[in-house]
Amino acid sequence: MAYDTDNIFAKILRGEIPCDKIYEDDWVLAFNDIAPAAPVHVLVIPKGAYVSMDDFTATASDAEIVGFYKAVGKVARDLSLVEPGYRTLNNTGVHGGQEVPHFHVHIFGGKPLGPMLTRSSFR
Ligand code: 5GP
């Protein structure tokens, strides 16, 4: 699947539409999800143009992959999620339920999340 430069996260990266930014470095942008499924729901996206987890892990450089995952851990740490605990999630492709075709990892936290997570669990 070719990368769609008009996807919503590409527009956020280019500053064409706003986001509620949590963190940014050379490798990633992290921002609050527009429709949170938990009290803390942050999306971490690489600055590079990767469609999915598959694309990212197959074609990104080692530096990008390390930079990305170190940033995911840092964001969770900076949000004080480590001690109470948190969940990371990636959706890939149709069966994975991926909506936005720019690779991203969700960070969920702020309450006990249970064995699974749905939108209705945000209460
Ligand atoms: P996916 O299903 O692709 O793993 O998740 C995409 C996520 O992006 C969803 O949780 C959705 O709420 C979020 N999202 C979609 N459009 C926007 C947007 O314009 N801004 C922000 N902050 N999040 C968005």
Q: What is the pLDDT of residues 38-63, one digit of tens each?
A: 999 999 999 999 999 999 999 999 99
> Residue 90 C-alpha to ligand 1 middle, in angstroms?
12
Mean pLDDT of 24-43: 98
The pLDDT score that the predictor gives to residue 119 is: 62
Q: Which residues of 29-66 are buried (b: 16+ CB within 10 A; e: fewer)?
A: bbbebeeebbebbbbbbbebbbbbbebbeeebeeebee
What is the helix (H) or strand (E) element at residue 40, kind and residue range? strand 40-46
Q: Is the CB of 53 under 6 A from ligand 1?
A: no
* CA pair distance 48, 55, nearest whole angstrom: 11
Q: What pLDDT, on a 0 to 100 scale, did the predictor assign at position 120?
A: 64
- Domains of the chain by residue range: 8-111
Tens digits of per-residue pLDDT, 81-101? Answer: 999 999 999 999 999 999 999
Name the DSSP letter for residue 119: G
| Centre of ligand 1 from the C-alpha of residue 83, in Å | 26
CATH of domain 8-111: 3.30.428.10
Mean pLDDT score across all residues of the chain: 95
